[in-house]
Chain A
């Protein structure tokens, strides 16, 4: 799976304003609403579901990356977005570091395989230090789009 298969380009946020976990999740789901990827009436339900998932254990998986996610019946395919927080957000991460890169995923309840393939893509690409560093330093939505495209065409990594 490539980023282009699940990242909604219109919902990318280059400078996340939020300073806490809930704020970051709300801002990203709001961007997906504005981009027309999720119904506005479902906004609160999706945010609550993602926060409930975080209560089971943080999705801050280290290296300054978090993957907040949920299954939700209102989507019929995997929907995702990316946000960069220049200042970092305390996300109770595995390694205690603040999170600068967010990959938010909403998947249909009956498609667990797509969710796993998106996680594989995210983990494989972000294990590359150069890609991870460049993404954290991205200043605009265009920068982020370019980096995601470059990752999709194997321009990072071994």
Chain B
């Protein structure tokens, strides 16, 4: 069954959404089965395009709206959320 879920996330990584987080977002979305978009205000981008994500200039403290549509929408959003806080995979316990 396919569902669409939208979550508001606040960027808490002091560096904002930079290349490394953008890349992690792309890879996380590609591992899942859902289509994901990220919006900052009126600007909405595809979460599989690192170039578009960098175009958001998402800085620390800014609010983004992440929408996932597909069979694993909730799981993909769960996996994405730590990335906006600068927590990546095995480094999750020791942020920069």
Query: Any chain B CB within 8 A of the CB of A23?
Result: no
Residue B75 is within 8 A (CB to CB) of chain A in the complex: no
B29 to chain A, nearest CB (A): 14
A116 at the interface (CB under 8 A from B): yes
Q: Are B60 and A112 in contact (CB under 8 A)?
A: yes
**Are B57 and A120 in contact (CB-based, < 8 A)?**
yes
A-B contact pairs, 8 of them (CB 8 A): A61-B50, A61-B51, A62-B50, A67-B19, A94-B23, A117-B57, A119-B54, A120-B57
A115 located at the interface, meaning its Cβ lies under 8 Å from any Cβ of chain B in the complex: yes
Instruction: Report the minimal beta-carbon distance from A120 to chain B, rounded to whole angstroms.
Output: 5
Cβ B51 vs Cβ A112 within 8 A? no
Classify chain B's interface size.
10 to 19
> Do A116 and B20 form a contact, CB below 8 Å, given A61-B50, A61-B51, A127-B51?
no
Per-position 1/0 for A118-134, Cβ under 8 A of B: 01101110110000000
Interface residues of B (CB under 8 A from A): 14-20, 23, 26, 50-52, 54-60
Kindly list chain A residues whose C-beta atoms are within 8 Å of the C-beta of B58: 116
Min CB–CB distance B25 → chain A (angstroms): 12
Q: Is the pair A112, B23 in contact by a Cβ cutoff of 8 Å?
A: no
Given A62-B50, A113-B59, A124-B55, CB of A119 within 8 Å of CB of B18: yes
Whether A123 contacts B55 in the complex (CB less than 8 A), given A61-B50, A94-B23, A94-B50, comes out as yes
| Chain A residues with a Cβ under 8 A of chain B | 56-57, 59, 61-63, 67, 69, 94, 112-113, 115-117, 119-120, 122-124, 126-127
Which of A67, A69, A112 has the most CB atoms of chain B within a 10 A radius of its CB?
A112
Contacts of A117 in B (CB 8 A): 57
Could you say which residues of chain A place their CB within 8 Å of the CB of B59?
112-113, 116
B56 to A, closest residue via Cβ:
A120
B18 CB to closest chain A CB (Å) equals 7
Interchain CA distance A112-B59 in the complex, whole Å: 8
Contact A59 B19 (CB under 8 A): yes
Determine how close the nearest CB of chain B comes to the CB of A117; give it in whole angstroms. Answer: 6
Q: Give the residue among A61, A112, A123 with the most B Cβ atoms within 10 A.
A: A123
Q: List residues of chain B with CB within 8 A of the CB of A67.
A: 19
Flag if A119 contacts B50 (CB, 8 Å). no
